[in-house]
Amino acid sequence: MQGKVAIIGSGFSGLSAACYLAAAGYEVEVYEKNETIGGRARQFETKEGFRFDMGPSWYWMPDVIADFFQDFGHNVADFYKLTSLNPQFEMVFEKESLSVPEGLGELRKLFEATEEGAGSRFDTFMEAARYKYEVGMKDFVTKPCHSWWEFVSPKIAKSAMKLNLLTDFRKYVRQYFKNPKLVALMEFPVIFLGAAPKDIPAMYSLMNYGGYGLGTWYPEGGFVQVVEAMAKLARGLGVRFHLGQAVRRILLEGSHVVGIQLDEETVICDAVVGSADYQHVESLLPAEARNYSAYYWEKKTFAPSCLIFYLGFKRKIKGLKHHTLFFEHELESHVHAIYTDKKWPENPLFYACCPSKTDQHVAPDGCENVFLLMPIATGLDDRDETREQYFHQMITRLEKHTGEEGLLNDVVYKRSYCVRDFVQDYNAYQGNAYGLANTLKQTAVWKPAVRNKKVNNLFYTGQLTVPGPGVPPAIISGKIIAQEIIKNKELRHEKIV
């Protein structure tokens, strides 16, 4: 046995780190404050028979998730069934909508039909996006980012110009497309990276390939199937999970972690991995042992929080796809409200997910499972009356798009979730939902460090450090931190014994 590692949090990064460390011979214990595994990717079931994924719903970059299971000799199909969505999603504008088809060939036809000459430009855009994806996902996002020297190699130097690191995404997209609907379609994948397209490097067009190029998928039974598969794999490797166990303090002796303090128990261990919210993990340390001050976090640009409604309808809703984006209003004004004004938006964009269109198991017969999600700024004054105001806006727009009147009267289950819930359930700094924004100044080495600079055997993983927000990056983050512990032989022999 290499030593005992305690992991705080059971989200995707924590599950990933647990599997890799256990496979390398470490004794791994995972401590989760909630009663179920998965962090933001939990699922809950209602007495009415609806099953709601609480977090992720876009299964993009399927190769990254497949690679994780293959690292342990498994295929995704060993655990759950994937369905390719066609259409991938629908985007609703003020006077019309775009249904985004499966496959690059059909997408090319859509672009050409919408804007003359856009089909060939789409091919060029996506070929460049594919290159960035292959280089970025293999050579960039797998780095622990201790130093810029990690990126010094002939291959990376050769590809630097093609990655468009110094061009902003907004300008980059408009070099290819003029039609506002196509611009919105191509800008959508970077919205949840946490900044306005003008503040995101054009390198992140790799997201367009990871989504549109590799397809939009759905795991039968919901996204929680991915969580349960990873947890099953972890248990098979010897990982033990402790649910409803909040870590109250990280215990130190000099510059070493010696254990963690729970409500009623002290756990001795040789290293700790913080997979919970980074700032919260730091709060479990004495101030002098933290990497970053309160001022540091105040100055950071966070990705959005969100207002979510989980809704059960007692009838089917015609005209609604599995994924529908409501972009009737101008994107820039919503983004400006989130990142500049830091206020509730006047003309919000929102997203509707209706998994019961694909999966009969998530709703009773003849019923519809829907959740509505509206990106908002972090740290907002989160009041019930404000939630209700936006709920009625979204329902009205849903009725207009589908032509289905009286939806409000057919709601048999309703639950809202917003800033204060993210704080309470996940200790999320200012109620953030998606970690730090992937702006150029918060990329790679400029993200919060994966190792504590003052405590030798304390590590951090998840959406607030490298590579960033999203399910595939979180899985990669867990692997990065496991490799950091495994390769650190001098640390292991000195203390982790």
What is residue 192's predicted lDDT score, i.e. its pLDDT?
66
Angle at CA of residue 201, ends 200 and 202, nearest 5°: 115
Q: Please report, as a single letter, which amino acid is at residue 224.
A: V
DSSP 318: T
With a cut of 50, say whether residue 109 has pLDDT above it.
Answer: yes
What is residue 73's predicted lDDT score, i.e. its pLDDT?
98
What is residue 492's predicted lDDT score, i.e. its pLDDT?
43
Contact 323, 185 (CB under 8 A): no
Q: Over the stretch 31-79, which tens digit does the pLDDT of each residue have? A: 999 999 999 999 999 999 999 999 999 999 999 999 999 999 999 999 9
238: region left, alpha or beta (phi > 0 left; psi from -120 to 50 alpha)? left
Q: Identify which of 410, 370, 416, 412 has the alpha carbon closest to the alpha carbon of residue 391.
A: 416
In our burial notation (b when 16+ CB lie closer than 10 A, e otherwise), range 372-398 reads: bbbbbbbbbebeeeebeebbebbbebb
Q: What percent of the chain has pLDDT over 90?
A: 85
Report d(CA 125, CA 112) in Å as an integer: 13
What is residue 493's predicted lDDT score, i.e. its pLDDT?
39
What is residue 440's predicted lDDT score, i.e. its pLDDT?
85
Contact 376, 306 (CB under 8 A): yes
Q: What percent of the chain has pLDDT over 70?
A: 97
Q: By mean pLDDT, which of 175-179, 189-193, 401-405 is the weakest?
A: 189-193
What is residue 177's predicted lDDT score, i.e. its pLDDT?
98
Contact 205, 164 (CB under 8 A): yes
Contact 459, 257 (CB under 8 A): no
Who has greater pLDDT, 371 or 334? 371
Report d(CA 370, CA 352) in Å as an integer: 7
Which is it for strands 256-261 and 249-253: parallel, antiparallel or unpaired? Answer: antiparallel
With a cut of 90, say whether residue 274 has pLDDT above it.
Answer: yes
Q: Please report, as a single letter, which amino acid is at residue 96.
A: E
With a cut of 80, say whether residue 304 has pLDDT above it.
Answer: yes
With a cut of 70, say whether residue 398 has pLDDT above it.
Answer: yes
Residue 252 CA, chain-centre distance (Å), reads 31
Q: Identify which of 78, 110, 117, 64 has the alpha carbon closest to the alpha carbon of residue 91.
A: 110
Sign, CA dihedral 192-197-201-203, equals positive
Mean pLDDT of 109-125: 98
What is residue 166's predicted lDDT score, i.e. its pLDDT?
79
What is residue 138's predicted lDDT score, i.e. its pLDDT?
82
With a cut of 60, say whether residue 328 has pLDDT above it.
Answer: yes
DSSP per residue, 421-470? HHHHHH--GGG-SS-B---GGGSGGGSPPSB-SSSTTEEE-STTSSS-SS
Domains, the chain: 4-71+221-300+436-494 (3.50.50.60), 103-213 (1.10.405), 301-426 (3.30.519)
Q: Order the strands of the 350-353 sheet from edge to edge.
A: 97-100, 89-92, 323-326, 350-353, 368-376, 305-313, 411-417
Contact 239, 30 (CB under 8 A): yes
What is residue 347's predicted lDDT score, i.e. its pLDDT?
86
Q: Identify which of 190, 221, 179 has the alpha carbon closest to the alpha carbon of residue 79.
A: 221
Q: By mean pLDDT, which of 305-309, 313-317, 489-493 is the weakest?
A: 489-493
What is residue 1's predicted lDDT score, i.e. its pLDDT?
64
Q: Identify which of 59, 82, 114 has the alpha carbon closest to the alpha carbon of residue 323.
A: 59
Mean model confidence pLDDT for the chain: 94
Mean pLDDT of 436-452: 93
Q: Over the stretch 144-187, which tens digit does the pLDDT of each residue have? A: 999 989 988 776 667 767 888 779 999 999 999 999 999 999 99
Report d(CA 3, CA 112) in Å as an integer: 58
Contact 355, 218 (CB under 8 A): yes
With a cut of 50, say whether residue 462 has pLDDT above it.
Answer: yes
* C-alpha atoms less than 13 angstroms from C-alpha of 21 in its C-beta half-sphere: 34
What is residue 341's predicted lDDT score, i.e. its pLDDT?
87
Q: By mean pLDDT, which of 252-256, 437-441, 464-468 is the weakest?
A: 437-441
Q: By mean pLDDT, which of 240-249, 324-333, 465-474 is the weakest?
A: 324-333
Mean pLDDT of 220-240: 98
Q: Please report, as a single letter, which amino acid is at residue 105.
A: G
What is residue 489's predicted lDDT score, i.e. its pLDDT?
58
What is residue 3's predicted lDDT score, i.e. its pLDDT?
94
* C-alpha atoms less than 13 angstroms from C-alpha of 148 in its C-beta half-sphere: 3
Report d(CA 229, CA 231) in Å as an integer: 5
Nearest 10 degrees: CA dihedral of 5, 32, 191, 107? Answer: 90
In our burial notation (b when 16+ CB lie closer than 10 A, e otherwise), range 273-287 reads: bbbbbbbbbbebbee
